[in-house]
């Protein structure tokens, strides 16, 4: 992809995407631009990651063929008021949760081509999930190119608008939930004598390997669990403890809390 790409906002998600693009080799760092309100921090990130910092959102848009809205959702309307006159003829992508095609449409100039994407932080290492809303206004060829580019960050899937919320909850919030599980198992390993760095290494590789095994084989997770649980063995004792503690209900409850906004 030869086009220039500009990031409005340079928080954790934007940094994950930029690092993933650079790591993949599909994008040269000279093609990447970014704007964020704290210019000193932006410049430090630019030196570390490899992109060109811009002093204003307007200059960022002028330097970019494709703009990616990575700021906080509550900041979007204010940013659009500043850059809207510059958007016609350009592509605008947004990774802000809840800001889908229907929400953006009334605020964008008619000639702006738009796509809502839900990424997640494992995109940094090429292990992400990138959800593309089915409703969009991109041209067919440029959408294929953008999906191919984001494919360098992980698994790309298209979802209808009404499923972007649950899809984004599972893939976007899910890493935090899994990180808690990794930390908990590592704490248990430390309790029984493993050094913490080794505990994290072993647990993270176990989670990675288990997930990959399911993805590659396509087997039901319950079947894979059964294959580890020997009759009268040790693993089934741990499974019983997890069931008694309500692990399944806790995982489903976490998703329910995000979807309903209950605190």
Residues 159 and 131: beta-carbon distance below 8 Å? yes
44-95 pLDDT, tens per residue? 999 998 899 999 999 999 999 999 999 999 999 999 999 999 999 999 999 9
Alpha-carbon gap, residue 86 to 112, rounded angstroms: 9
Determine the distance from the C-alpha atom of residue 169 to the mean position of all C-alpha atoms in its chain, rounded to a whole number. Answer: 10
- Strands 128-133 and 113-118 come out as antiparallel
**pLDDT at 262 (0 to 100):** 76
**pLDDT at 17 (0 to 100):** 94
Q: Which residues pair with 35 in a beta bridge?
A: 8
**pLDDT at 29 (0 to 100):** 87
**pLDDT at 50 (0 to 100):** 86
238: tokens are 């741990």
Same fold, 5-159 and 167-260: no
Residues lower than pLDDT 50 in the chain: none
Domain boundaries, the chain: 5-159, 167-260
**pLDDT at 110 (0 to 100):** 85
Domain 5-159 of CATH type 3.40.309.10: no
Give, in order, the Cα–Cα distances in Å from 73 to each of 144, 161, 232.
Answer: 26, 17, 52
Q: Is 36 left (phi over 0), alpha (psi -120 to 50) or beta?
A: beta
Residues 77 and 71: beta-carbon distance below 8 Å? no
The DSSP element (H or E) to which 58 belongs, if any, is helix 57-63
Please compute Rg for the chain using Cα positions: 21
**pLDDT at 2 (0 to 100):** 80
Alpha carbon distance, N-terminus to C-terminus of the chain: 43
Architecture of the domain defined by 167-260: Orthogonal Bundle (1.10)
Alpha-carbon gap, residue 130 to 114, rounded angstroms: 16
Q: What is the pTM assigned to this prediction?
A: 0.93
Class of residue 77 by CB neighbours under 10 A (exposed 0-12, middle 13-18, buried 19+): exposed
The alpha carbon torsion through 120, 170, 92, 4 (nearest 10 deg) reads: 20
């Amino acid at each position: 992809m030869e086009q220039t790409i500009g990031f409005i906002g340079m928080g954790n998600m934007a940094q994950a995407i930029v690092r993933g693009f650079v790591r993949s080799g599909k994008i040269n760092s000279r093609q990447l631009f970014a704007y964020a309100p704290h210019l000193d921090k932006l410049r430090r990130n630019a030196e570390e990651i490899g992109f060109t910092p811009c002093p204003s959102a307007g200059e960022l848009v002028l330097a970019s063929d494709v703009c990616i809205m990575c700021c906080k959702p509550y900041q979007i309307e204010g940013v659009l008021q500043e850059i809207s006159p510059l958007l016609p003829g350009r592509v605008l992508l947004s990774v802000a949760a809840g800001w889908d095609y229907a929400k953006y449409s009334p605020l964008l100039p008619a000639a702006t081509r738009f796509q809502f994407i839900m990424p997640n932080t494992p995109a940094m290492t090429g292990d992400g999930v990138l959800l593309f809303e089915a409703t969009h206004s991109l041209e067919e060829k440029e959408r294929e190119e953008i999906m191919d580019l984001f494919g360098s960050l992980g698994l790309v899937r298209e979802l209808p608008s009404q499923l972007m919320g649950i899809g984004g909850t599972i893939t976007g919030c899910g890493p935090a939930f899994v990180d808690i599980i990794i930390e908990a198992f590592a704490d248990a390993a430390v309790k029984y004598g493993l050094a913490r760095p080794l505990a994290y290494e072993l647990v993270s590789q176990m989670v990675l390997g288990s997930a990959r095994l399911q993805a590659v084989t396509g087997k039901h997770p319950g079947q894979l669990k059964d294959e580890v649980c020997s009759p009268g063995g040790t693993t089934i004792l741990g499974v019983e403890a997890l069931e008694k503690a309500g692990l399944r209900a806790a995982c489903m409850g976490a998703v329910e809390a995000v979807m309903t906004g209950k605190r």
